[in-house]
Structure 1
């Protein structure tokens, strides 16, 4: 019984770490920072954190809501499924309290957006092509 439980627990933990490895968090603003707190990223993508420490406006961007990479991010960091995430933003939009993160269809366009908007933060697949040297991959704490 204990051996079976150990095998199941190992499988669950392994699958959760694989989910976390499905995306990258990138920014130009935080080029000096190598890590960012998971709760801060969650707050950014839920519209609770709007400004960086220096007072500049944060511009979060992501792939389409149907993208597998973004789905993993929403489940792992936001701790919602995509329908809950969409519902959350519909309620906030209806109340006029916030603007959702910008959704961009192509990886190359997200990279360009981050290059052009130093205050942005983005979610990308694990191995994007043509990532700029001006963009920093940030690990979650």
Structure 2
């Protein structure tokens, strides 16, 4: 009985963590398309894509790497540590290849920025997603 309880506790912990790790992409109405595939999203957040199809400049909004969501983004989207993501962006900016992402401490501040800046796109935890946000589907889903 003791082992069954331990197994159930581990299962519940794993399920809770996997739900917490879900991310959602939000975007300004002017710029990002309503849907992207994961490879396109990675290309945008790696600074490879500078303009949307309508010509609007891409503006990347990220949670600061020291936040829980920032750590999840670093791991899940960039496949890097938070420090490695910082170094990656510093190198791109220093080389003049891209503008630095705008960083935020809170999901609410990031959402407000994206809503008020044409071309802006950002990533938040699915649990922080407001009902009125414009969500960009990734591989046909609201979260990845």
**Would you say same fold, with TM above 0.5?**
yes
Alpha-carbon offset, residue 32 of structure 1: 6.5
Matched position secondary structure for 2:115 = helix
Q: Which runs of 5+ in 1 are unaligned?
A: 1-10
- Distance in structure 2 (CA, Å) of the matches to 1:128 and 1:20: 10
Matching residue of 2:8: none
Q: Which runs of 5+ in 2 are unaligned?
A: 1-10, 140-144
Deviations 1:81-113, CA, capped at 9 Å, x for gaps = 222211111222222322221102222211111
**Considering only aligned residues, what root-mean-square deviation do their CA atoms show, in Å?**
2.7
TM-score by length of 1: 0.74
TM-score by length of 2: 0.72
- Distance in structure 2 (CA, Å) of the matches to 1:20 and 1:140: 17
Matching residue of 1:137: 135
- Aligned residues between the structures: 125
Contact kept, 8 Å, 2:32 with 2:119, in 1: the verdict is no
Alpha-carbon offset, residue 121 of structure 1: 0.7
- Distance in structure 2 (CA, Å) of the matches to 1:139 and 1:20: 18
